[in-house]
Amino acid sequence: MDMQTENACSTALFDDLKKPGGATPVTVSFGDGIGPEIMAASLRVMFAAGAKLAVESIDVGERVYRAGHTAGITDAAWDSLRRTKVFFKAPITTPQGGGFKSLNVTIRKSLGLFANVRPCVAYAPFVATRHPDMDVVIIRENEEDLYAGIEHQQTQDVVQCLKLITRPGCEKIVRYAFEYARANGRKRVTCFTKDNIMKLTDGLFHRVFEEIAGEYPDIAHDHAIVDIGAARLATAPETFDVIVMPNLYGDILSDVAAELTGSIGLGPSANVGAHGAMFEAIHGSAPQIAGQDIANPSGLLLAGVMMLIHSGQPDAAAAVHNAWLKTIEDGIHTADIFKEGVSRKKVGTRAFAEAIIERLGQQPSSLMPVAYGEIAVPASIPEPSPRRIKAKQLVGIDVFVDSTGSVEELASQLRQDESGLIELVMITNR
């Protein structure tokens, strides 16, 4: 069987299993630090809400790294991921020091998870935040930019990291952002780039954004240079709706946005591609509070809600989400969001999960209840447009010279070239 047929078959199998009645096969890892506690709590709530999940458990993370797998994952774990194509992942600890590769980057690239979706919502007045009306979704490009991992030692004193931006990559993520906005009743998509400086790379991202925005006249669009955009996001996040941006800016600003909601422990994250998806909390493994039954499982649980929507189980997703909102509204809070005078009861991870289970079937009365239909995820993952072949023209070549002499000595050596092919105009180390 060739690769394409194999992909088509496994996708068809996956679609069958997603149909109502069949449990969705899901690869689950319990992770490191607080991971096992918050994963157990999240699964308990989801099953109590009627989620149909056929769980395959895998081991990834610190133990696997230390056992000699430099990417933190074994072949057996890959087999499960390729089979289920849905990964529910608790946070892991990445060991410090050289030689270890980021598991997240490896999984995103291997499964083609090009879109990272992070809803950042305030739950005021029940969770303290300076931005009570905040409800922003950050959509981060997940595969390109400075995360291509291509770095060179140019000379002994100069290193470089390549920023790769492709037209198909821009088209996919920008179209995904507009499709997401349309499917979720969002009104505006904003693009952040730094195209006043990076005219080719960020310039392409911005240009493609403007082109594709024209295909969605029902959704408003605008662009901001990332520095002022970030400043506005930090001071007035309620003025944004959906924001799409290249990888590095998205990485940084989605953490900022999650923290602004009141606690990093509240934020979920979905990594989506044509052939798979990974759902996790925004936060890490919080080793300082591991094993104490005090971690907030909300980020992972809300990622589970996104996974249930993705898996065609909108009713279970809504049941979990509404019971969670009701629990927050009733002031049953974990330590990270507990506030005297606002919260009613401080609970641990397990008791918080039990409180949500007790409220299954209830709706919040102050916070807005959710209802998920089939439309809550973009109907299809956008394909980039066919490649347009343009005429190519050589406009110049870059030459790097590693020299320890003075600039004057180097200039005089270069001027000795008598072929007439090269004229020295400038020497620069930038």
- Which residues lie near ligand NAD (CB under 6 A)? 34, 91-94, 104, 264-265, 280, 283-286, 288-289, 295-296, 299, 336
**Closer by beta carbon to ligand NAD, 103 or else 174:** 103
CB of residue 391 to ligand NAD, shortest distance in Å: 44
Shortest distance (Å) from residue 104 CB to ligand NAD: 6
Closest contact distance (angstroms) between CB of 351 and ligand NAD is: 14
HEC string for 202-264: HHHHHHHHHHHHCCCCCCEEEEEEHHHHHHHHHHCHHHCCEEEECHHHHHHHHHHHHHHCCCH
For the bound state, the minimum distance from the C-beta of residue 61 to ligand NAD, rounded and expressed in Å, comes to 8
- Least distance (Å) between residue 98 CB and ligand NAD: 15
Give the whole-angstrom CA distance, residue 350 versus residue 353: 5
Closest contact distance (angstroms) between CB of 283 and ligand NAD is 3
Of 39 and 219, the one with the shorter C-beta distance to ligand NAD is 39
Specify the residue, 93 or 190, whose C-beta has the smaller distance to ligand NAD.
Answer: 93
Hey, what amino acid is at 144? E
> Toward ligand NAD, which CB reaches closer, 299 or 314?
299
Tell me the C-alpha distance between 328 and 71, whole Å: 37
Beta bridge partners of 86: 277
Q: What is the 3-state secondary structure (H, E, C) of 103-156?
A: HHHHHHHHHCCCEEEEEEECCCCCCCCCCCCCEEEEEEECCCEHHHCCEEEEEC
Which residues make Cβ contacts (< 8 Å) with residue 233, sequence separation at least 6?
136, 240, 243, 253, 256, 257
Taking CB atoms, the residue at the shortest distance from ligand NAD is: 284
Contact 37, 329 (CB under 8 A): no
Instruction: Output Rg (C-alpha) for the chain, integer angstroms.
Output: 24
**Smallest gap from residue 105 Cβ to ligand NAD (A):** 11
Count of C-beta atoms within a 10 Å radius of residue 159: 10
Q: How far is the CB of 265 from ligand NAD (least distance, A)?
A: 3
Residue 65 or 240: which CB sits closer to ligand NAD? 65
For residue 53, the surrounding DSSP H or E stretch is strand 53-58
CA distance 72 to 65: 4
Three-state secondary-structure class, residue 321: helix
How near is the Cβ of 336 to ligand NAD at its closest, in Å?
A: 4
Of 203 and 284, CB closest to ligand NAD:
284
- Least separation in angstroms between residue 91's CB and ligand NAD is 4
Q: Which residues contact 85 (CB under 8 A, 6 or more apart)?
A: 10, 11, 14, 111, 275, 276, 277
**Which phi and psi (to 5°) does residue 160 adopt?**
-140, 150
**Closer of 24 and 94 to ligand NAD (Cβ):** 94
Name the residue nearer to ligand NAD (CB basis): 80 or 285: 285
- Would you say 33 or 169 has its CB closer to ligand NAD? 33
- 327-365 burial, b at 16+ Cβ within 10 Å, e below that, comes to bbbbebbbbbbbeeeebeebbbbeebbbbbbebbebbbe
Do 138 and 150 contact (CB within 8 A), yes or no? Answer: no
In the bound state with ligand NAD, the residue whose beta carbon lies nearer, of 96 and 393, is: 96
Instruction: Quote the tokens at residue 212.
Output: 């594709």
Give the Cα separation of 116 and 271 in Å (integer). 4
